[in-house]
Amino acid sequence: MTATVPVAVTDAAGRRPSCPADLAVVLSPASYAGGTVLDLSGPLTAGEIVLDEVVPARAPWSAVVRAGQVLTIVDVGGNQSGDCLLYSAADTGERYSVPDTISWSGTAYVRTGTVLRSNYGNALATVVANEIDRQDTIGGACGKESNTLRYGHHTMAEHGCRENFLAEAARHGMGARDIVSNLNWFMNVPVEADGTLGIVDGISGPGKRVAFRADMDILVLVSNCPQVNNPCNGFNPTPLRMIVTAAAETAPEKARKTAQGTEPRA
């Protein structure tokens, strides 16, 4: 080993995210392809941080985000696809729906303001901030079986997002029937005039972010995409940072609390 450069495990504000693996290894550029730049960035919206976690490359992740809370996803290493499914926390039979999101919004791409809808047409979440031009929701997830179609049977041993989704879904009592077409944060899938579509070089970068507000209590499943056969991860899977911020207090709520504080009831 050559002399090691100390790895920063805090962001610019001094916050240290939690991580299921050794954060110093997960955030070391030496763990990735040469030239990898890692940027932890920070939350896109104000409010108390109630969850702050780094998802290692190739790993699944899930959390419940309460109504009004905002989840910021940081593309720490740049052009790292975060495959994502949303479920109503109260009834996982209600789940993210690509076609309902597309039909209601009238556009195939996801941008700031896009309402992420359920299979019942309800608003699960709304994109409130987005630092790249557009996010994908038509490219679906990779998986061991689909990789054999796309690249050949020699890829069968590789891990995929479908496997991450199945593993994480199982932790919440769900199975294959609960996995549907998904969102892909930081993935770039243009549709050309003749219908040709495909995953091309990303338009994100280290530290770029997207944030969405939960419009009901939602269970968020994410696969930090392990794909190494196309540019969805720049052929170099890297970590994601997940930051949940509490809803900022509205003026009436603040007034009510202040009133309660100064005029305690007997």
Partner 1 sequence: MAGTSTGHETDTVTAARSDARAQSGRVADAMPYLPASGTPFAPPGVDTDLLVWAETVAAGGYTHKVLARGSRIRLEDVTGEACAHVLLYNALEPWERLNVADTMKIPWQAYPGTGHPLLSGDGRVLATIVADDSGRHDALCGTSTAAAARAKYGDPAPQGPSPSGRELFVLAAAKHGLTPRDLPPSISFFKGVRVRGDGGLEFTGSAGPARAVELVAELPLIMLIANVPHPIDPRPGYVSGLLRVHAWRSAPTGPGDPYWDAAPETHRAYLNTTDYAGARGL
Contacts with partner 1, 185-224, as mask; x by CB under 8 A: ----x-x-xxxxxxx-------------------------
Question: By three-state DSSP, how is residue 168 classified?
Answer: helix
Which CB atom, from 41 or from 97, has the smaller least distance to partner 1? 97
For 180, how many CA atoms within 13 A lie in the half-sphere containing its CB?
16
Smallest Cα–Cα separation from 80: which of 192, 9, 194, 184? 184
Site for partner 1 in 31-60 (CB under 8 A): none
Buried b (16+ CB within 10 A) or exposed e, 44-79: bbeeeeebbebbbbbbbbbbebeebbbbbbbbbbbb
- Binding range to partner 1, per CB under 8 A, among 18-26, 39-47, 172-180, 215-223: 172-180
Closest distance of CB 104 from partner 1, Å: 7
Q: Which of 109, 126, 215, 231 binds partner 1 (CB under 8 A)?
A: 109
Which CB atom, from 76 or from 210, has the smaller least distance to partner 1? 210
CA 220 to chain centre: 8
Residue 31, number of CB atoms within 10 A of its CB: 19
Smallest Cα–Cα separation from 51: which of 72, 25, 79? 72
149 binds partner 1 (CB under 8 A): yes
20 binds partner 1 (CB under 8 A): no
Contacts with partner 1, 120-139, as mask; x by CB under 8 A: xxx-----------x---xx
Closest distance of CB 110 from partner 1, Å: 9
Closest distance of CB 166 from partner 1, Å: 10
The phi and psi torsions of 115 (rounded to 5 degrees) equal -90, 125
- Dihedral class, residue 257 (left if φ above 0, else alpha if ψ from -120 to 50, else beta): alpha
Residues that bind partner 1 (CB under 8 A): 93, 97-100, 102-104, 106-109, 119-122, 134, 138-141, 143-150, 152-153, 162, 175-182, 189, 191, 193-199
